[in-house]
Amino acid sequence: MTDPLKAFMQANALTTPTFPPDSRYYGLDTKQWIRPDGEPVTFVRRRFVPPPENFATLSEHRVEVGDRPDNLAAKYLGDPEQYWRLCDGNGVMHPNELVDTVGRRLRITLPEGVAGGTDV
């Protein structure tokens, strides 16, 4: 049985994934692995999480009961799918680490390398 998504991608020469500029994977190189049956599998190379000090702080948020990473990203960044930026700016690997301690102060940061904020 043929995977319809794979068939569509191959028919439209979309074998290399592309990511929008607001994706955490944007700009990462891809690599291809050839399966034993000869079928190529394209994957994104490893993304190394940047150190939190690479981010300028815009504001802070004190974690409250019921806070969720996606809701905080929507509130402060305008997009719930940008929760990964909160993770990067606070040095956490798992999104729920952001909100698992009530009272924790989270940094709301600019994207990496953008100057500004309160700690420049």
Q: For residue range 25-81, what is the model confidence (pLDDT) as tens digits?
A: 787 888 889 999 999 988 888 878 889 888 999 999 999 999 999 999 999 999 999
CA-angle at 65, arms to 64 and 68, nearest 5°: 80
DSSP 67: -
Higher pLDDT, 78 or 117: 78
> Which one has a higher pLDDT value, 113 or 12?
113
- Tell me if residue 58 falls in helix, strand or coil: strand
- The token pair at 65 is 């009961």
> How many whole angstroms separate alpha carbon 94 and alpha carbon 117?
25
Distance CA 92, CA 55 (A): 14
Residues 6 or more apart in contact with residue 29 via CB below 8 angstroms: 44, 45
Pairwise pLDDT comparison (49 vs 106), residue with the higher score: 106
